[in-house]
Chains A and B, each alone.
Chain A
């Protein structure tokens, strides 16, 4: 079941002189089982949007449907816990949320809150830690002893251990080195492909969005400017200009080749595939 926003608005400091409409009558559908990117300039409403997905924020107007939950403006929500178990939200610089004495205890914190038995919680924690690539000998270390990149993995494991159906990540690669960022993205792709999780990534990194995200949503001033396949967005020069987006180099390269008469299929997104198709045409 897709996620549906219906005429949803969110107003900060409602009824105050400095009220600010962060989301403006949004109608939006986010597909199930794919990787969706949410992009937009700072202050466009991306974070406000994702904080609705697990009811950290409740709509000022309108409603949204997530899984079996229906969240309507001005209604008391009774299903917060199950919703937050099913929709895992990983915040920016999530390494700063660790607080337990050991890595594994920290990762088991979520499952315990959601009502799993201590044994079950530890079992899930261990599985989640393995998934994110933390070695078993580090399970009982203090999270404070780990490197920045490892801490972030532990924080992500802390959400995965709750076994969410939807995983939302706010700038998961910010501050990591390129190799660390790539490994992080590989993890999300794997969660999506192997376990069928719906993955939603808020990001500024257009290169990453182009390479890994199936669908893209562009936000500007609290409104949806684009919602569709990532490939189509980046193929449209006019749109990129309109949204003030930098064109990833691979996109410019591909577009230049197309302009010069090379015929590239929709599959030719990666450099490897582009080279293969171009080479065939050059040699013919």
Chain B
């Protein structure tokens, strides 16, 4: 059985339209899965259902065999963390270390053990010099790192990133993405990342494409982008490299490389041949 199993899940905020419509897929332990789709395609709703922040009324979600429902939610929350979009609205403590402590306090970790855990995970995300900082003196990227440290301190199996980089400046984006890739590189943490960043999708193991609440595709990124035309149909971006392939395809030049440097080489060779 896979770690996360989502079966025929639907959700609607009011009776009119379904935000999530009969979505089914499953995620293996240790996988790094990205979720793409337009704003309003149901990505965040689905994430909130997995995290037990919205009730699963239709269909079922199980995490390691445990069904996500009110009864199991406390157990599931010990194993799953979520990093939200707005860095300010998830900073609960009055300083960095207080914020990392927040989850530990809820988990009833003994007071004397907290300092060590806080230091360990602050170190892991590079926040050691900022432990006593207040949120208003931190950048967006630093605040998101605090959120990640707070979640790692709980030793979770699954971390959901809900557009965690979309409100950051380029520097912050880069830092958080790198941190995410590092976490994904290990086998212990399963990552579900909701994103608009096509380049991030290329780094993931698998990608879920949602459109108007429905599952549109679920596959390895390379296979998904091989259907650039299908993505275009629903107005989604394709990676730059696929755009290049398409642009040259119009002139009957078929580029086969899977990186830009290779494509430039190919163009040179075909240039010198003629």
Contact = CB atoms under 8 A, between A and B. Distances in A.
**Direct touch of chains A and B (CB < 8 A):** yes
B199 to A, nearest CB: 8
Contacts of B243: 271
Interface stretch (B25-33, B75-83, B246-254): B246-254
B247 A282 contact: no
Contact of A147 (B39, B139, B166, B244): B39
B169 A204 contact: yes
Contacts of B116: none
B166 A260 contact: no
A175 B162 CA distance: 12
A256 B260 CA distance: 9
Interface string A260-284: 1110000000011011101101111
A236 interface: no
A275 B260 contact: no
Interface string A120-139: 00000000000000000000
B171 A41 contact: yes
Interface stretch (A3-11, A102-110, A176-184): A176-184
Contacts of B39: 147-149, 176-177, 180
A79 interface: no
B22 interface: no
Interface string B169-185: 11100100000000000
Given A149-B39, A180-B39, A257-B267, A279 B253 contact: yes
Contacts of A204: 169-170
**A149, A253, A261, A272 pick with most chain B CB within 10 angstroms:** A253
B38 interface: yes
Contacts of A279: 248, 251, 253
A256 to B, nearest CB: 5
Contacts of A41: 169, 171
Contact of B40 (A147, A175, A262): A147
B38 A256 contact: no
B51 to A, nearest CB: 21
Given A148-B39, A177-B38, A256-B260, A282 B274 contact: yes
Interface string A34-77: 00000001100000000000000000000000000000000000
B256 interface: no
Contacts of A249: 240, 260
Contacts of B260: 249, 252-253, 256
A283 B261 CA distance: 20
Contact of B264 (A176, A260, A275): A260
Interface string A131-160: 000000000000000011100000000000
A283 B274 contact: yes
Contacts of A256: 260-261, 264
A276 B267 CA distance: 13
A275 B271 contact: no
B271 A174 contact: no
18 contacts: A175-B85, A175-B167, A177-B196, A178-B236, A204-B169, A246-B170, A246-B174, A250-B240, A253-B263, A261-B268, A262-B267, A262-B271, A275-B244, A275-B250, A279-B248, A279-B253, A281-B271, A283-B274
User: What are the nearest 3 A-B pairs in CB distance?
Assistant: A279-B251, A275-B247, A249-B240
Interface of B: 38-40, 85, 139-140, 166-167, 169-171, 174, 196, 198, 235-237, 240, 243-244, 247-248, 250-251, 253, 260-261, 263-264, 267-268, 270-271, 274
